[in-house]
């Protein structure tokens, strides 16, 4: 086989990688905001549940989490197909790391703004979503960009639960052809191109949010 013949299976695997990465980034972001906001809650039960979730997934290896969901969970009658398992596990991990980004950004908003909102008799919900969150989201974007790229790199582990992603296809090709140098070079290039795409998307979102925040400040000045 020539390197051109390697492209078809690698591109097929790359499609699976992109699907898993994008799906888990979106779901992980939702979890990150939910858990991050919960961590700032004055309710000790809500904050405690979020804390346990964050510590559990930040403190255990992704590989073990994948194996637990794929091999151990079915023993109690709950099972998912490999792709669902991969997306779910990556989402939970991304959400745990993202939650601390959200919490930190919210806590970084000056306390004086909360006091001003309370003086104006704004509700906590209104203050969170209309005063704190617009400022905090802009500051979260660089960290979320790093999380998105890390999520992409972590998808390589889903090949170990029989998902035919880019890494799985590369390993299969290598076993057939024994052409390690070419196969893994093309695989590296593939991951690099996908990562560039992710970084570009995050950068465009960040620029749009910053323009929106600047326009909002000028409108209220």
What is the DSSP track for 53-86?
HHHHHHSS-HHHHHHIIIIIGGGGT----HHHHH
**Which CATH number applies to 3-220?**
1.10.3720.10
Domain boundaries, the chain: 3-220
How many residues comprise the chain? Answer: 221
Look up the pTM and report it: 0.87
Residue 220: the pLDDT is: 43
pLDDT score of 1: 62
Per-position pLDDT tens, the chain of length 221: 666 788 888 999 999 999 999 999 999 999 999 999 999 888 999 999 999 999 999 999 999 999 999 999 999 888 899 999 999 999 999 999 999 999 988 888 777 777 777 777 777 777 777 777 777 888 888 889 999 999 999 999 999 998 889 998 999 888 888 888 889 899 999 999 999 999 999 888 888 877 765 554 544 44
pLDDT of residue 212: 65
Report which of 145, 151, 113, 122 is spatially closest to residue 209, judged by C-alpha positions.
145
User: Pick from 96, 190, 196, 203: which is nearest to 149 by CA?
Assistant: 196
Which residues, at least 6 apart from 11, have a Cβ–Cβ distance to it below 8 Å?
A: none
């Amino acid at each position: 086989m020539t390197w051109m013949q390697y492209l078809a299976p690698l591109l097929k695997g790359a499609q699976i990688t992109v699907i898993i990465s994008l799906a888990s980034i979106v779901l992980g972001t939702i979890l990150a905001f939910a858990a991050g906001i919960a961590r700032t809650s004055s309710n000790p039960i809500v904050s405690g549940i979020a804390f346990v979730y964050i510590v559990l997934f930040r403190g255990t290896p992704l590989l073990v989490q994948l194996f637990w969901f794929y091999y151990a969970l079915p023993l109690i009658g709950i099972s998912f197909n490999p792709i669902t398992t991969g997306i779910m596990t990556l989402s939970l991990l991304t959400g745990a790391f993202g939650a601390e980004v959200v919490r930190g950004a919210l806590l970084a908003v000056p306390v004086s703004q909360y006091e001003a909102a309370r003086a104006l008799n704004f509700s906590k919900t209104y203050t969170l979503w209309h005063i704190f969150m617009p400022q905090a989201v802009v500051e979260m974007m660089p960290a979320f960009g790093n999380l998105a790229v890390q999520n992409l790199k972590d998808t390589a582990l889903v090949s170990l639960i029989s998902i035919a992603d880019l890494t799985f296809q590369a390993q299969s090709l290598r076993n057939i052809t024994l052409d390690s140098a070419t196969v893994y070079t093309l695989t590296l290039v593939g991951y690099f191109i996908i990562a560039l795409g992710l970084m570009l998307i995050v950068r465009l979102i960040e620029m749009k949010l910053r323009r929106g925040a600047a326009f909002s400040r000028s409108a209220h000045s």
